[in-house]
Amino acid sequence: MISVEEAIEKRRSRRKFASDRDFVLEQISQLIWAAQGVTARQAGYGLRAAPSAGAFYPMELYLLSKDGMFHYLPDSHELETKETTDLRKELAAAALYQDFVAQATIDIIICAVYQRMTGKYGKRGVRYVDMEAGHIAQNIHLQAVAMGLGSVPVGAFDDERVKRLLSLPDTYEPIYIIPVGCAV
Protein backbone atom coordinates (compact mmCIF):
# COMPACT_ATOMS: atom_id res chain seq x y z
CA MET A 1 0.00 0.00 0.00
CA ILE A 2 1.25 3.49 -0.76
CA SER A 3 0.89 6.64 1.33
CA VAL A 4 -1.75 9.27 0.64
CA GLU A 5 1.04 11.67 -0.32
CA GLU A 6 2.39 9.25 -2.90
CA ALA A 7 -1.11 8.60 -4.30
CA ILE A 8 -1.70 12.35 -4.67
CA GLU A 9 1.69 12.80 -6.33
CA LYS A 10 1.11 9.95 -8.80
CA ARG A 11 -2.53 10.76 -9.62
CA ARG A 12 -2.83 11.64 -13.29
CA SER A 13 -5.58 11.31 -15.84
CA ARG A 14 -5.02 8.07 -17.76
CA ARG A 15 -6.82 7.54 -21.04
CA LYS A 16 -5.15 4.38 -22.34
CA PHE A 17 -6.12 1.07 -20.82
CA ALA A 18 -5.02 -2.51 -21.42
CA SER A 19 -8.04 -4.24 -22.92
CA ASP A 20 -6.82 -7.73 -22.05
CA ARG A 21 -6.77 -7.22 -18.27
CA ASP A 22 -9.75 -7.80 -16.04
CA PHE A 23 -10.31 -6.86 -12.42
CA VAL A 24 -10.93 -9.29 -9.65
CA LEU A 25 -14.01 -8.69 -7.51
CA GLU A 26 -11.86 -7.42 -4.62
CA GLN A 27 -10.52 -4.58 -6.79
CA ILE A 28 -14.00 -3.48 -7.82
CA SER A 29 -15.15 -3.80 -4.24
CA GLN A 30 -12.33 -1.59 -2.97
CA LEU A 31 -12.88 1.10 -5.61
CA ILE A 32 -16.62 1.34 -5.02
CA TRP A 33 -16.15 1.24 -1.23
CA ALA A 34 -13.70 4.16 -1.44
CA ALA A 35 -16.38 6.07 -3.31
CA GLN A 36 -19.44 5.53 -1.10
CA GLY A 37 -18.76 2.62 1.24
CA VAL A 38 -20.02 2.65 4.81
CA THR A 39 -17.11 3.40 7.15
CA ALA A 40 -19.01 3.56 10.46
CA ARG A 41 -22.51 3.15 11.87
CA GLN A 42 -24.12 5.89 13.90
CA ALA A 43 -27.72 6.45 15.05
CA GLY A 44 -29.09 3.75 12.77
CA TYR A 45 -27.42 4.79 9.51
CA GLY A 46 -24.05 4.33 7.90
CA LEU A 47 -21.50 7.09 7.58
CA ARG A 48 -19.74 6.87 4.25
CA ALA A 49 -16.24 7.22 2.84
CA ALA A 50 -16.96 10.65 1.31
CA PRO A 51 -18.43 13.49 3.38
CA SER A 52 -22.02 14.55 2.79
CA ALA A 53 -23.68 17.72 4.10
CA GLY A 54 -26.15 16.68 6.79
CA ALA A 55 -25.42 13.03 5.95
CA PHE A 56 -28.15 13.13 3.27
CA TYR A 57 -26.05 11.12 0.78
CA PRO A 58 -27.63 12.32 -2.45
CA MET A 59 -25.43 10.18 -4.70
CA GLU A 60 -26.19 6.96 -6.52
CA LEU A 61 -23.35 5.03 -8.14
CA TYR A 62 -23.56 2.84 -11.21
CA LEU A 63 -20.84 0.62 -12.59
CA LEU A 64 -20.46 -0.67 -16.13
CA SER A 65 -18.23 -3.58 -17.07
CA LYS A 66 -18.13 -6.32 -19.68
CA ASP A 67 -20.56 -8.18 -17.42
CA GLY A 68 -23.23 -5.49 -17.52
CA MET A 69 -24.55 -2.59 -15.46
CA PHE A 70 -24.71 -2.53 -11.68
CA HIS A 71 -26.10 -0.19 -9.02
CA TYR A 72 -24.12 0.14 -5.79
CA LEU A 73 -25.97 -0.48 -2.52
CA PRO A 74 -23.77 1.09 0.19
CA ASP A 75 -25.57 -0.29 3.27
CA SER A 76 -25.01 -3.89 2.20
CA HIS A 77 -21.88 -3.17 0.10
CA GLU A 78 -23.37 -4.99 -2.87
CA LEU A 79 -23.71 -4.43 -6.57
CA GLU A 80 -27.26 -4.91 -7.77
CA THR A 81 -27.38 -6.23 -11.34
CA LYS A 82 -29.44 -3.95 -13.59
CA GLU A 83 -28.35 -5.24 -17.00
CA THR A 84 -26.23 -8.14 -18.24
CA THR A 85 -25.23 -6.50 -21.54
CA ASP A 86 -21.93 -4.66 -21.92
CA LEU A 87 -22.97 -1.00 -22.33
CA ARG A 88 -19.50 0.60 -22.32
CA LYS A 89 -19.47 1.34 -26.07
CA GLU A 90 -22.85 3.06 -25.79
CA LEU A 91 -21.58 5.02 -22.79
CA ALA A 92 -18.52 6.10 -24.79
CA ALA A 93 -20.84 7.30 -27.56
CA ALA A 94 -22.88 9.25 -24.99
CA ALA A 95 -19.57 10.67 -23.72
CA LEU A 96 -19.04 12.39 -27.05
CA TYR A 97 -17.26 9.37 -28.53
CA GLN A 98 -14.38 9.34 -26.08
CA ASP A 99 -13.25 5.78 -26.90
CA PHE A 100 -11.26 5.29 -23.71
CA VAL A 101 -14.60 5.12 -21.84
CA ALA A 102 -15.32 1.85 -23.68
CA GLN A 103 -11.75 0.58 -23.31
CA ALA A 104 -11.64 0.92 -19.51
CA THR A 105 -12.25 -2.23 -17.50
CA ILE A 106 -15.01 -0.47 -15.59
CA ASP A 107 -16.79 2.85 -15.72
CA ILE A 108 -18.17 4.32 -12.53
CA ILE A 109 -20.99 6.79 -13.06
CA ILE A 110 -21.76 9.17 -10.20
CA CYS A 111 -25.38 10.32 -10.24
CA ALA A 112 -27.00 12.96 -8.03
CA VAL A 113 -30.47 13.14 -6.58
CA TYR A 114 -30.50 16.87 -5.85
CA GLN A 115 -33.84 16.79 -4.03
CA ARG A 116 -32.28 14.83 -1.17
CA MET A 117 -30.13 17.87 -0.41
CA THR A 118 -32.22 20.82 -1.61
CA GLY A 119 -35.17 19.73 0.53
CA LYS A 120 -33.13 20.73 3.59
CA TYR A 121 -30.71 23.35 2.22
CA GLY A 122 -32.61 24.96 -0.66
CA LYS A 123 -30.54 26.28 -3.57
CA ARG A 124 -27.31 25.94 -1.56
CA GLY A 125 -27.96 22.21 -1.53
CA VAL A 126 -26.98 22.10 -5.22
CA ARG A 127 -23.51 23.31 -4.26
CA TYR A 128 -23.26 20.67 -1.52
CA VAL A 129 -24.18 17.92 -3.97
CA ASP A 130 -21.58 19.07 -6.48
CA MET A 131 -18.95 19.24 -3.74
CA GLU A 132 -19.81 15.70 -2.69
CA ALA A 133 -19.40 14.47 -6.26
CA GLY A 134 -15.87 15.90 -6.18
CA HIS A 135 -15.08 14.16 -2.90
CA ILE A 136 -16.29 10.84 -4.29
CA ALA A 137 -14.38 11.24 -7.54
CA GLN A 138 -11.14 12.08 -5.75
CA ASN A 139 -11.54 9.02 -3.52
CA ILE A 140 -11.93 6.83 -6.61
CA HIS A 141 -8.90 8.36 -8.32
CA LEU A 142 -6.66 8.05 -5.27
CA GLN A 143 -7.81 4.48 -4.60
CA ALA A 144 -7.09 3.59 -8.23
CA VAL A 145 -3.54 4.98 -7.92
CA ALA A 146 -3.02 3.10 -4.65
CA MET A 147 -4.02 -0.11 -6.46
CA GLY A 148 -1.71 0.53 -9.43
CA LEU A 149 -4.63 1.38 -11.75
CA GLY A 150 -5.38 4.33 -13.97
CA SER A 151 -8.49 6.52 -14.07
CA VAL A 152 -9.75 9.71 -15.65
CA PRO A 153 -12.59 12.08 -14.75
CA VAL A 154 -15.08 12.63 -17.57
CA GLY A 155 -17.56 15.49 -17.44
CA ALA A 156 -18.19 15.85 -21.17
CA PHE A 157 -21.24 13.76 -22.01
CA ASP A 158 -24.82 14.04 -23.14
CA ASP A 159 -26.76 13.96 -19.86
CA GLU A 160 -30.04 12.78 -21.40
CA ARG A 161 -28.35 10.06 -23.40
CA VAL A 162 -26.59 8.73 -20.28
CA LYS A 163 -29.87 8.85 -18.34
CA ARG A 164 -31.61 6.81 -21.04
CA LEU A 165 -28.74 4.33 -21.34
CA LEU A 166 -28.73 3.67 -17.59
CA SER A 167 -32.55 3.80 -17.34
CA LEU A 168 -32.19 6.34 -14.54
CA PRO A 169 -35.22 7.59 -12.64
CA ASP A 170 -36.27 11.14 -13.58
CA THR A 171 -34.78 12.57 -10.37
CA TYR A 172 -31.31 11.14 -11.02
CA GLU A 173 -28.74 13.33 -12.78
CA PRO A 174 -25.42 11.94 -14.05
CA ILE A 175 -22.55 14.11 -12.80
CA TYR A 176 -19.33 12.22 -13.55
CA ILE A 177 -18.10 9.24 -15.51
CA ILE A 178 -14.89 7.72 -14.20
CA PRO A 179 -13.27 5.07 -16.41
CA VAL A 180 -10.84 2.85 -14.47
CA GLY A 181 -8.47 0.26 -15.86
CA CYS A 182 -4.92 -1.00 -16.09
CA ALA A 183 -3.14 2.00 -17.58
CA VAL A 184 -0.69 1.49 -20.42
100 versus 163: the higher-pLDDT residue is: 163
pLDDT at 94 over 90: yes
pTM of this structure: 0.93
> At 144, is the secondary structure helix, strand, or coil?
helix
Residue type, 170: D
125, 119 Cβ separation under 8 angstroms: yes
pLDDT(140) > 70: yes
* Number of other residues whose CB lies within 10 A of the CB of residue 122: 9
Of the pLDDT bands very low, low, confident and very high (cuts 50, 70, 90), residue 25 is: confident
| Number of residues that this document lists for the chain | 184
Q: What is the mean pLDDT of residues 158-183?
A: 96
What would the mean pLDDT of 26-45 be, rounded to a whole number? 91
pLDDT for residue 20 is more than 70 = no
Structural contact between residues 74 and 36, judged by C-beta atoms closer than 8 angstroms: yes
CATH number of the domain residue 71 falls in: 3.40.109.10
Nearest to 109 by CA among 14, 29, 180: 180
What is the rounded average pLDDT of the residues 113-118? 97
Tell me the pLDDT band of 8, cut-offs 50, 70 and 90: low
Number of domains composing the chain:
1
| Per-residue confidence (pLDDT) for residue 12, from 0 to 100 | 65
Q: Is 80 helix (H, G, I), strand (E, B) or coil?
A: strand
Q: Which residues of 65-88 are buried (b: 16+ CB within 10 A; e: fewer)?
A: beeebbbbebeeeebeeebeeebb
Domain with 109 in it: 4-181
Checking if the pLDDT of 148 tops 80, the result is yes
Mean pLDDT score, 8-36: 82
Q: Which long-range contacts (CB under 8 A, 24 or more apart) does 164-168 make?
A: 165/87, 165/90, 165/91, 165/94, 166/62, 166/69, 166/82, 166/87, 166/109, 166/111, 167/82, 167/83, 168/111
Long-range contacts of the stretch 64-72 (C-beta < 8 A, 24+): 64/88, 64/91, 64/106, 64/107, 64/109, 65/23, 65/28, 65/105, 65/106, 65/107, 66/22, 66/105, 69/166, 72/32, 72/35, 72/36
Mean residue pLDDT across the chain:
92
Q: What is the pLDDT of residue 9?
A: 78
